[in-house]
Amino acid sequence: MTLAERGLNMTDTRALARRLRGHALRMTHLSRASHIGSCLSMADIMAVLYGAVLRLNPARPAWPDRDRVIISKGHAAAIVYATLAECGFLPIGELDQYSADGGRLSGHVTMTVPGVELSTGSLGHGLPVACGMALAAQRASAVWRSFCVLSDGELDEGSNWEAIQFAQRARLDTLFAIVDYNKIQSFGTVAAVSDLHPLADKFRAFNWGVTEIDGHDHPALLTALSSGPIIPGRPTAIVAHTVKGKGVSFMENQLLWHYRNPDAAQLATALAELEAGA
Amino acid sequence: MRTETIDALTAYARGAPDVMLLTADLGYSVLERFAEALPKQYVNVGVCEQAMVGIAAGLALTGHRVVLYSIVNFPTLRCLEQLRNDVCYHDLPVMVIAVGGGLAYGPQGYTHHGVEDLGIMAMLPNMAVACPADPLEAEALLPQLLDRRRPAYLRLARSGEPVLHPAGTKVTLERAITLRSGTDIALLATGPILGRALAAAQTLAARGISASVLSFPGFRPLDQQAVLDAARGHRAILTLEEHMVTGGFGSRVAEVLLAAGLAPRFGKYGVTDALRGQIGSQAWLLDRLGPVEDHAMALL
Ligand SMILES: [Mg+2]
């Protein structure tokens, strides 16, 4: 069942997003880990997806009819574990063990954590696997859907374009690729490093249905994520325009926060900002 | 051996609708027999080995056993990280069938010489690695690897390899097969190069040297007991492989011997850097390494 069916509503996905951001900030602070900016840009996507869209059963992670989600940007592990903990797949208290010695919450997403479908961390792996899942659903005429969350930087990887080509030819219309288009990648802006623009047109040229939305707009996310394929019989790309570091003023649009972790004072400031934005 | 293997796969998959065959647009005139018999279990994904392995992982995570087919380096080296992370780390039932193993496509040039695949595949977690010597071994190994429901690599040569074993020979991944028993030297072979070992044993016999010949269908797991028994029963061991001698079959055998404190006279017959860039038939290229019997004699 969706979390919405468990009593959440759209106001709650905003509250959920705030909690996810708070968890990710605390986790990166405690572990001194990188990638908080990448986590914050996709917090709203995760909150709406897990809070209001996906059909999952945290008590039965392997439920065969569940929707599948692959987080291909595996470096955003903190927000993924935070989301799964909020959904009930693992104890919230375990989040303190992020990247800790002997723990199971590795700095890149791993399938040893309940609710994770695929270990990721090397970019460009997720979408082909999501294609395989969507192909399996098609073969079984199943109703569950396959979602893959990608970063903009990882679209440099050729394996994604192999999958994008395959998905349209195979008519994988239960496949949804969500691009967290935060315009920053490892060495600078996406425009400067790889010049991905025009991204939506690239998907269109590959015969995908495409929608472009504000990736922090919950009603827009809900509509895009809960609708069927934009073009019948074709896969769908949701290009979500986002802000790296979204929700913490001094982290927004700053490459530095792809790497840096907040110290105690910065954490307090960040959490206060999240609270004030509530 | 590729046709026999695809026939065995077709027969297996007929009774196992969860088995799917994916190709990256290779296997013309070989895969049609499967595709025509079981069209719903066959997908040509296009020329994209990285995506093919990912798609296989996705299918395997969703209840399928998946077989991938291509020419030796393409479904292994090209997509090595997809095999490592997506398939092997997740311990998924995906089997790679590679054709053109070793120097089978010798005239096609260096891109088509598959001489690092066995060693590299055998380093991946959970991966079984099989290197059949003849059609009989290949046919027998295929269902065993599928039954195992874990990552597997099946390295084939091409077509027309002679049957080297007597009919009815029991073939398993875990056990070496003794084709000839001798006392002076043991020739341990993996893959079709077994034929050269058998021929060399004949030549050695004419020179008064008694050679054993063993075939190792399993590269991983390796039949360690057979290696140890060979070392204890002979003065010398010569390994034979159509693969780089660094990090391949001979190296694995040497590891087993060293760990057991055994030090027979030891040699490795296989591909060296001297062959890189040379083209020619499989037989012509292997002839560049010199006669097997000469390598054996040098150890005695
Ligand atoms: Mg980015």
Residues contacting B185, CB < 8 A, separation 6+: B204, B209, B210, B211, B212, B234, B235, B236, B237, B238, B296, B299, B300
B135-163 mean pLDDT? 97
- Tokens standing for residue B41: 């279990």
Distance separating alpha carbons of residues A60 and A73, to the nearest angstrom: 25
| A7 dihedral zone (left: phi>0; alpha: psi -120 to 50; beta) | left
Q: Write the residue in A68, A125, A135 that is nearest to B82 by C-beta.
A: A125
Distance separating alpha carbons of residues A130 and A70, to the nearest angstrom: 7
Task: Give the model confidence (pLDDT) of A7-33 as tens digits.
Answer: 666 669 999 999 999 999 999 999 999
Please state the pTM of the whole predicted model.
0.97
* pLDDT band at residue B33 under the 50/70/90 scheme: very high
* pLDDT band at residue B192 under the 50/70/90 scheme: very high
- CA neighbor of A165 nearest in space, from A234, A63, A219, A228: A234
> Is the predicted pLDDT of residue A41 greater than 70, yes or no?
yes
- CA neighbor of A278 nearest in space, from A3, A19, A10, A98: A19
Domains annotated on chain B, with CATH: 2-155 (3.40.50.970), 177-299 (3.40.50.920)
From the number of C-beta atoms within 10 Å of its C-beta (0-12, 13-18, 19+), residue B194 rates as: buried
What pLDDT, on the 0 to 100 scale, is given for residue A6? 62
All residues of chain B having their beta carbon less than 8 Å from the beta carbon of residue A72 are none
CA atoms B98, B103, B107, B110: torsion sign: positive
> Is the predicted pLDDT of residue A3 greater than 90, yes or no?
no
ipTM here: 0.96
Instruction: Give residue A84 CA to ligand 1 midpoint distance, Å.
Output: 22
- CA neighbor of A166 nearest in space, from B77, B6, B58, B67: B58
- CA neighbor of B53 nearest in space, from B85, B31, B25: B85
Mean pLDDT of chain B: 97
What pLDDT, on the 0 to 100 scale, is given for residue A90? 96
What pLDDT, on the 0 to 100 scale, is given for residue A144? 98
What pLDDT, on the 0 to 100 scale, is given for residue B81? 98
What pLDDT, on the 0 to 100 scale, is given for residue A2? 64
What pLDDT, on the 0 to 100 scale, is given for residue A277? 85
Give percent above pLDDT 90 in chain B: 99
> Is the predicted pLDDT of residue B151 greater than 70, yes or no?
yes
Residue that is written with structure tokens 């598959």 in the block? B114
- CA neighbor of A135 nearest in space, from B26, B51, B15: B51
Task: List chain A domain ranges.
Answer: 9-276
Task: Give the model confidence (pLDDT) of B225-279 as tens digits.
Answer: 999 999 999 999 999 999 999 999 999 999 999 999 999 999 999 999 999 999 9
Angle between helix A218-226 and A10-31 (nearest 10): 100
Q: What is the CA radius of gyration of chain A?
A: 17
Q: What is the DSSP-derived secondary structure letter of residue A62?
A: T
Residue type, B211: A
All residues of chain B having their beta carbon less than 8 Å from the beta carbon of residue A127 are 54
Could you please state the CATH topology (level 3) that the domain comprising A9-276 is classified under. Answer: Rossmann fold (3.40.50)
Residues with CB under 5 A from ligand 1 (ion): A 151-153, 182, 184-185
Q: What is the DSSP-derived secondary structure letter of residue B88?
A: I
Instruction: Give residue A150 CA to ligand 1 midpoint distance, Å.
Output: 9
Task: Give the model confidence (pLDDT) of A44-88 as tens digits.
Answer: 999 999 999 999 999 999 999 999 999 999 999 999 999 999 999
> Is the predicted pLDDT of residue B64 greater than 70, yes or no?
yes
